[in-house]
């Protein structure tokens, strides 16, 4: 196969204890999935889940330095558990949802909060607040065969060593199987899809020179620095 413009490589993430990598197909994100974060964003905590997306090539590898993005004065971190999908799932039940999971990682849903809120207030799409260059730092993937399905555990984010987010993934409003079941009723999930499962309370801004470290107990840790 040849193309009329230069082609590009698949975006991928390393897999722990494996030379082969996880190819990234699409990045789905869940909005407001922890009650305390929904409250800090001024929203009802019992709304049904909703989803937005980031472009696949917004992925940033663990340990990378990323530029401060243009068109924002309020650039926020959101530390999140990431689910890596390993098989097709369409309208899958909550009981079966774990079967389509390949593994888990830790991610950052980097957000131009000022752009997102302006869009929200005008009833416009969030894309330019959420889906911009380097907006999806993600750790290596840990397969289910190694870590199982984490249902509880501390999720923690520090900026320059200072704790900013400290919660437990068991406090998600919609847990992982419920989220997958719901999302798979909207779109067919496919192997390679990532789901960023939402952030707990404590979101805030970062500036040039800041280093973020996010961890989910029983999964792994992700480090990212703003250049
Ligand atoms: Mn988020």
Dist. CA 27 → ligand 1 center (Å): 12
Q: Where are the domains of the chain?
A: 20-226
pLDDT in tens, 91-134: 999 999 999 999 999 999 999 999 999 999 999 999 999 999 99
Tell which residue, 108, 144, 107, has the closest CA to residue 218: 144
Ligand 1 centroid to residue 143 C-alpha, Å: 22
CA dist 145 and 50 (Å) reads 29
Query: pLDDT tens, 162-184?
Result: 999 999 999 999 999 999 999 99
Q: How far is CA 189 from the centre of its chain?
A: 16
CATH class for domain 20-226? alpha beta
Predicted TM-score of the model (pTM): 0.97
Contact 39, 168 (CB under 8 A): no
Using alpha carbons, select from 72, 56, 156 the residue that is nearest to residue 106. 156
Q: Rg of the Cα trace of the chain?
A: 17
Burial level of 149, CB count in 10 A (0-12/13-18/19+)? middle
Cβ atoms 58, 26 nearer than 8 A: no
213 Cα to the center of ligand 1, angstroms: 16
HSE-CB of 4 using CA atoms within 13 angstroms: 0
- pLDDT, one tens digit per residue, over 35-46 is 888 888 887 766
Ligand 1 centroid from CA 6, angstroms: 33
Tell me, what's the pLDDT at 203? 97
Q: How far apart are CA 44 and CA 39, in angstroms?
A: 7
Between CA 79 and CA 88 the distance in angstroms is: 26
Q: How far is it, in rounded angstroms, from Cα 123 to Cα 106?
A: 30
For 179-212, letters b (16+ CB in 10 Å) and e give bbbbbbeeeebeebbbbbbbbbbbbeebeeeeeb
Tell me, in angstroms, the distance from the centre of ligand 1 to residue 96's CA: 25
108 forms bridges with which residues in the sheet? 79
Give the distance (Å) from ligand 1 centre to CA of residue 1: 37
What does the pLDDT average to over 69-98?
Answer: 98
| pLDDT at residue 124 in the model | 96
pLDDT band at 196 (very low <50, low <70, confident <90, very high): very high
Give distance in angstroms: CA of 111 to centre of ligand 1: 8
From 115, 130, 155, 133, select the one nearest 60 (Cα to Cα): 133
Q: Which helix (H) or strand (E) holds 226?
A: strand 220-226
Give the model confidence (pLDDT) of 3-59 as tens digits: 999 999 999 999 999 999 999 999 999 998 998 888 888 877 667 889 999 999 999
Q: How far is the CA of 2 from the centre of ligand 1 (A)?
A: 37
What does 48-89 look like in DSSP terms, one character per residue? PPEEEEE-GGGEEETT-EEPPPSS-S-EEE-EEEEEEE-S-B
């Amino acid at each position: 196969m040849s193309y009329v413009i230069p082609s590009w490589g698949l975006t991928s993430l390393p897999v722990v204890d494996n030379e082969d990598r996880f190819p990234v197909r699409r990045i789905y994100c869940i909005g407001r999935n922890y009650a305390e974060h929904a409250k800090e964003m001024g929203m009802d905590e019992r709304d049904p889940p909703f989803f937005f997306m980031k472009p696949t090539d917004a992925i940033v590898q663990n340990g990378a330095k990323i530029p401060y993005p243009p068109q924002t004065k309020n650039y926020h971190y959101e530390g999140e558990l990431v689910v890596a999908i390993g098989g097709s799932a369409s309208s899958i039940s909550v009981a079966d949802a774990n079967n389509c999971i390949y593994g888990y990682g830790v991610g950052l849903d980097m957000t131009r909060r000022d752009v997102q809120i302006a869009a929200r207030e005008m009833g416009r799409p969030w894309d330019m607040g959420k889906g911009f260059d380097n907006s999806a730092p993600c750790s290596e993937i840990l397969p289910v065969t190694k870590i199982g399905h984490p249902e509880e555990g501390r999720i923690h984010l520090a900026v320059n060593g200072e704790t900013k987010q400290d919660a437990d993934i068991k406090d998600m409003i919609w847990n992982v199987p419920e989220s997958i079941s719901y999302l798979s009723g909207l779109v067919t999930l496919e192997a390679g899809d990532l789901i960023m499962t939402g952030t707990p309370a404590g979101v805030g801004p970062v500036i040039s020179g800041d280093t973020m470290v996010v961890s989910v107990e029983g999964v792994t840790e992700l480090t990212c620095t703003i250049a």
